[in-house]
A = this chain, B = another copy of it.
């Protein structure tokens, strides 16, 4: 017999979708607590265990953070613990150190075929391009070129970038309401071009890590495309396989 319920979705997943919608709609903002499991159970008219399973999945996806005895909180990029979730660069030896972002340029352009395809917008639609440097203990280690859809990031200027203290994603979250929740990186080794070599203080042609990232927000909608060149003379990209 044919499959009876091709679109079967368990109750806890429907509940999860509802709670995620609450996050999307801003019903609960980053850093805030969502209602308790029993409150949500009453609200959605299901058992507490079902709400729990929904939140379990959300916690596994880093959408939300549980704190025993306190509550469940909406994940935020302002949380220092989230800093190294997307930047997997660690020193070859020594302690993990915080990075400083140095914005270089910020200009507007129209999306070319590649940017349009990656950001899932139409060719010719406005985009914003940011170039910035990442420094560890004063030394430049990464140069990033970041492509953003212009309609979402209206008002983003070099001055805004320079004024902000904290990570880029933290700015995107608090200023533009855009939360990166997932990303895919493609890593290659390339030879440093003249400009990047100068910025990173290495010889032209030196090997660099090219890290191309597409960041997604709710519903797997792409909202950032960036290409970083990482100098791995004193740092390395750390990845856990499991």
Contact = CB atoms under 8 A, between A and B. Distances in A.
A106 interface: no
A182 B236 contact: no
B232 A189 contact: yes
Interface in A196-242: 205-209, 212-213, 230, 232, 236-242
A228 to B, nearest CB: 12
B238 A209 contact: no
Given A207-B207, A207-B208, A208-B207, A239 B187 contact: yes
A188 interface: yes
Interface in A172-203: 181-191
A106 B99 CA distance: 42
A86 interface: yes
A88 B239 CA distance: 11
Main SS of chain A's interface residues? strand
Count of chain copies: 2
B207 A241 contact: no
Interface size class of A (residues with CB under 8 A): 20 to 34
A36 B207 CA distance: 53
Contacts of A85: 241
A38 interface: no
A61 interface: yes
A13 to B, nearest CB: 15
A208 B209 CA distance: 9
Contacts of A241: 85-86, 88, 182-185, 213
Contacts of A207: 189-191, 207-208
Nearest to A63: B242
A201 B236 CA distance: 25
Interface string A60-76: 11100000000000000
Contacts of A62: 242
Nearest to A185: B239
B186 A189 contact: no
B232 A185 contact: no
Given A184-B238, A185-B240, 7 more contacts: A183-B242, A186-B238, A187-B232, A187-B236, A187-B238, A189-B189, A191-B206
